[in-house]
Structure 1
Amino acid sequence: MPVHRIPGKGRGSVFALTEELDAWLAENPENEAEPQEPAPPAAAPSPASPARKGPLRLILSLAAMLGVISLGAFAFSQGRTPEVPSGLPQDPALASIYLEARSDWARRSEASITAAIAKLTQVTDGDPGFAPAHAALADSYILAREFGSMSDPVAFGRAQQAADAALRINPEDPDALRALGFIEYWWRGNRQESMRRFTAAIAAAPQSAQTHFWLGNILIDNGDFAAGLKELERARLLEPASVPILVDLAWAQYAKGDVDAAQRKLEALRQRDPELATARDYLSIVYLDQGNIAGFVEEYAAHARIRKLERETAHAEAMTAALAQDPDAVLPLLVRAMEAEIASGERSFLPWPTMIATAADDREATLRLLGKAVARNETWGSAWVIRYLTQRWRGDRPVMDLIGKLRPPSMAQN
């Protein structure tokens, strides 16, 4: 059985790696129980009720004999299992800190991501040649954007540095390749390079739920719905109780146009975790699409609060005040604010302001923003924006011609 011991004197700790357990089970089918039906997506699996009863009972018995807790394959937190790359730092103290950091990363909260960054920095300082810690640090910086502890420019810049450091040590590190694929799409808009990085990451670690998850998210945004859903479902199969994956599966339904189903699922996920920024962000857009201005303002404000976005918080406060006086004034107020930001250079990318202008039924502003985006040679992902604009302006030839010039090329590989 592939169980490892962290080096050190006296009573040590052991851990088991998911990918090695899978290989062991494949080579020893007599140890595997009958296949179990996957748990319903809304119910997180209990540590006492694993899918593979036979080998897990044996592993837990071994852990009990040794008096240890495995932090690798069986660390449960919000139904998630942290992915621990093969190998650990040789120093036992750094190995322990590294495993703690991976568990912090898996908990997905502002405090836990901040803790993961601090611990991983300790590891990279103490063992600069340990590539997985640099790659995990890149992942943590990327998540720090979502959980409110770091701005996009700072987070993406630091994630790039950490991923580059990992690849200098190991050019095939799958987590570092994944992080760079994420950065290339969301920060640089380089679709071809993003796909190249993700393809290499999957080739190096085909069972990484996080890689399939992030690639699926990108493909959905780009409008490659079939390929994106395939990646998200693969991620869900690998981590069936992951709330972030469930959120993005609901979002994929919205992006495709199933607005009511997406709303129901996102509202249920918001109730499950009110501080999950992505669910609040997605719901704000769903409510805007449905014309629910009060719901839009509430979710917009919650997302800004969770992610500590100063500009969006100011918008939320202004819209909340306008909502109390005249709901019809809310969206025109936001359009004016966004156009002022574009003129000053504070805001550079235009899909979201264009959707707001369309929701405000402001054709003039919509044409103005679309024309500016075309003049800038923008290529939009934001497939949900393009779908929304197309539905609202179908038959309006000047608007539709401009939208057609902003559609992105497919990223899906044949």
Structure 2
Amino acid sequence: MDCATVPSNRAEPSRFAEDRIDGWKSIAAYFGRDRTTVIRWARERALPVHRLPGGRVGTVYALRGELDRWAKLPADGTDAIETVATVATVADAGPALPVARFRPRLPAILAAMLTLVAVPLATLWPAATVSSAIVLPADAAVASRFLMARDLVAARTAASLTRGIALLQDVTAAAPDFAPGHAALAEALLLSREFAQQDDAEAFDRARVAARRSLRLAPDLPMARRAMGFIAYWADHDRAESDLHFRAALAADPDDALTRFWYGNILSDRGDHAAALRELDRARLGMPGSVALMTDYGWALWAAGRESEGRAILRWVEHAHPDFATAHESLSIIALVDSDFAAYARHVARVARLRGRRTLQLDAADPMALRRIVTDRAVRQLERGSEPSPAVAMLIAARTNRWDSIAARLRIGEARRERWGEAPILDWVVRLSPDANAWGARMARRKI
């Protein structure tokens, strides 16, 4: 929508400031809807939103009086509003485009294969949305901290997650009966494992406590169900329990893109590729501009056998966002499948630098030495049973014909009754094996 200019009444600056609502998130909160819905209203139903001049990413605001008058206009029946503060159930017609976008130069093969959702300049993750079912705390300061924390968590950086978790702890202390606060804290803690170097066991334990508190207050809250489904799969390796929670979350809110994103990743991890891609496609409708989602979608395509498409997406992410560690992780696995140990080492070193972790010093100038160092390390891990998820070490061993070490790790797993994820990687181990039927049967017993 072409937005009006800034009002020119200079006589009442304090009144103007008091009446003004800045940003799509705050405008959405005023109506109790999510961000994509109010952007769609601006585009399709002339919601009065103004744009400040200048800047690369359009800054928008609205005036309460104009919003109130707009809300009283006859609706077309799709998103009828009872009052400005009281929200009816939304039947959202579809996703909205972000205000300002850019499209980096794409490889011709990628452009031919799919239409990419463009990525905002200022962030790797779209602003967090708040479901229309959530009623924010009456205390405006607590509500503001909750919304700010959600945006910080959505940014998925170590600093933003640390700050977001601190804000959500404040929120749950100030409003202990606010179930979404506990659920959002659980979500932030789960993300901190990957993006903020939080210890897995501690993060899962704290997230489980927060999610359970949320469910005691609101048994059907989709955010809390999603968190419990995530914990059930990745921490407890309980496929049935995970499905139960995710299906409950989607039954309560079928349009929750983050739930579909997380569930799609789990389906991909366990090898349910067609279902995974369906969920991720639904997530893409609701999360335009998410590099995290595009990266995982590329991996899911590759895992499903659509290898050229998946590679193209991941290479685009690597080129457009070289500091996004998850893309390098995915490309490191693909490099192993290709038996390209130099590329594997390069991506692993990049991930370690980005996440502040130590890794082996690998000399890519000597390919044979590099291959030997990587293999020796994998073999030690397998024979000691030191990695709870041994898929990558098994793939390295398979590429160097160390089937004795893979067999040793399978025996350890059988004795411990372990369950392993990363089915796409384990499936590649089977494909490389000397007897796919025999090795496949043994692997199948260990999969989640």
TM-score range, shorter chain: 0.7 to 0.9
1:242 to 283, 290, 315: 290
- Please name the residue that 1:155 is paired with: 203
Say whether the 8 Å CA contact 2:158–2:195 is kept in structure 1: yes
CA distance in 2, matches of 1:277, 1:287: 15
CA contact (8 A) 1:284 1:300 kept: yes
- Alignment-derived partner of residue 358 in structure 1: 398
In 2: Cα distance, 1:209 partner to 1:131 partner: 20
Residue in 1 that maps onto 2:27: 15
CA distance in 2, matches of 1:387, 1:296: 19
In structure 1, the partner of 2:376 is 333
Q: 1:224: how far off?
A: 0.7
Which aligned pairs between 1:47-86 and structure 2 lie closer than 5 A?
A: 53-55=43-45, 57-60=47-50, 63-66=61-64, 77-78=123-124, 80-85=126-131, 86=134
- Matched to 1:330, the amino acid is I
Give the structure 1 partner of residue 239 of structure 2. 191
Q: 325-334 vs 126-135, which deviates more?
A: 325-334
In structure 1, distance between residues paired with 2:219 and 2:343: 47
| d(CA) in 2 for partners of 1:68, 1:84 | 23
State the shift of 1:208 in Å.
0.8
Question: What amino acid is aligned across from residue 399 of structure 1 in structure 2?
Answer: W
The correspondence of residues 396-407 of structure 1 with structure 2, limited to 5 A, is: 398-407=438-447
Equivalenced residues, count: 366
The secondary structure found in structure 2 opposite 1:356 is helix
Could you say what the CA RMSD is over the residues aligned between the two structures, in angstroms? 3.2
Asked if structure 1 preserves the Cα contact closer than 8 Å seen for 2:382 and 2:394, the reply is no
- Unaligned regions of 5+ residues in structure 2, if any? 1-17, 52-59, 68-95, 100-119
Partner of residue 90 from structure 1, selected from 138, 141, 149: 138
Offset of 1:151 from its aligned partner? 1.6
Q: 109, 117, 134: which is aligned to 2:182? A: 134
In structure 2, relative to structure 1, the CA distance for the partners of 1:18 and 1:12 (3 Å cut) is closer
CA distance in 1, matches of 2:391, 2:343: 21
Q: Which moved more, 1:242-251 or 1:297-306?
A: 297-306
Note closer, same or farther for the CA distance 1:308–1:93 as it changes in structure 2 (3 Å cut): same
Structure 1 length-normalised TM: 0.79
Partner of 1:213: 261
Within 5 Å, give how 1:370-381 maps onto structure 2: 370-381=410-421
User: How far 1:58 sits from its partner (Å)?
Assistant: 2.5
Instruction: Give the whole-Å Cα distance in 2 for the aligned partners of 1:289 and 1:51.
Output: 47
Largest Rg, 1 or 2: 2
Q: Give, in angstroms, the shift of residue 221 of structure 1.
A: 0.6
Q: What amino acid maps onto 1:247 in structure 2?
A: T
Amino acid at match of 2:296: D
Cα distance in structure 2, aligned partners of 1:207 and 1:246: 18
**Structure 1 residues 198-207 or 208-217, which shifts more?**
198-207
Bigger mean CA offset, 215-224 vs 200-209: 200-209
Letter in 1 for 2:394: T
**Per the alignment, in what secondary structure is the counterpart of residue 337 of structure 2?**
helix
Tell me the alpha carbon deviations over residues 116-137 of structure 1, each in whole angstroms, 9 at most, x when there is no partner.
Answer: 1111111111111111111111
- Rate the CA distance shift 1:55–1:82 in 2: closer, same or farther, 3 A: farther
- What is the CA–CA distance in structure 1 between the aligned matches of 2:212 and 2:160, rounded to whole Å? 24
Instruction: Give the secondary structure class of the aligned counterpart of 2:406.
Output: helix
Distance change >3 Å, CA 173–CA 397, structure 1 → 2: closer
**Which consecutive residues of structure 1, in runs of 5 or more, have no partner in the other structure?**
1-9, 26-31, 33-46, 409-414
Which one-letter code corresponds to 1:333 in the other structure? D
* Structure in which a larger fraction of residues adopt helix: 1
| Secondary structure in structure 2 of the residue aligned to 1:64 | strand
From 144, 147, 163, the counterpart of 1:115: 163
Deviation at 1:250, TM superposition (A): 0.5
Retained in 1: the 8 A contact 2:342–2:367? no
1:152-197 C-alpha deviation (Å, 9 max, x unpaired): 1121111111111111211111101100100110011011000001
Partner of 1:296: 344
How many Å apart are 1:251 and its aligned residue? 0.5
Whether 2:273 is the aligned partner of 1:225: answer yes
Corresponding residue for residue 42 of structure 1: none
> For residue 127 of structure 2, what is the amino acid of its counterpart?
T
Deviation at 1:232, TM superposition (A): 0.4
Aligned residue for 2:161, secondary structure, equals: helix
Structure 1 pair 396–228 and aligned structure 2 pair: CA distance change class (3 A): closer
| Structure 1 residue 321: Cα displacement | 7.9
